[in-house]
Amino acid sequence: MVKILIDEKMVQKDDKGILSLTQKGSECAKEIYEKHCFSYELLVSAGIDDKLAQKEVCKMEHDLSEESFQKI
């Protein structure tokens, strides 16, 4: 998984093996977090139990396209 993130220029590894987010990785993480927060609030406001909402949001935040997210 780390190799994929490095290949996609999401993270970089320094000489000591320490990983850090690149600008691209940071932007991607921010977008995923925004989807997470929005989706969680949406599910909870719809009456879904907190634990279930957390579980479902973890699936949604990665699979929801930007186009769909913007239209919601």
What is the domain partition of the chain in residue ranges? 25-72
Helix (H, G, I), strand (E, B) or coil at 19: strand
The full length of the chain comes to 72
Angle (CA) 49 59 42, round 5°: 45
- For the chain, the average pLDDT equals 93
Positions in the chain short of pLDDT 70: none
Interval 47-61: pLDDT, tens:
999 999 999 999 888
Of 36, 15, 11, the C-alpha closest to 25 is 11
> How much is the pTM?
0.77
CATH topology of domain 25-72: Diphtheria Toxin Repressor; domain 2 (1.10.60)
Helices (H), the chain: 2-7, 23-45, 50-63, 66-71
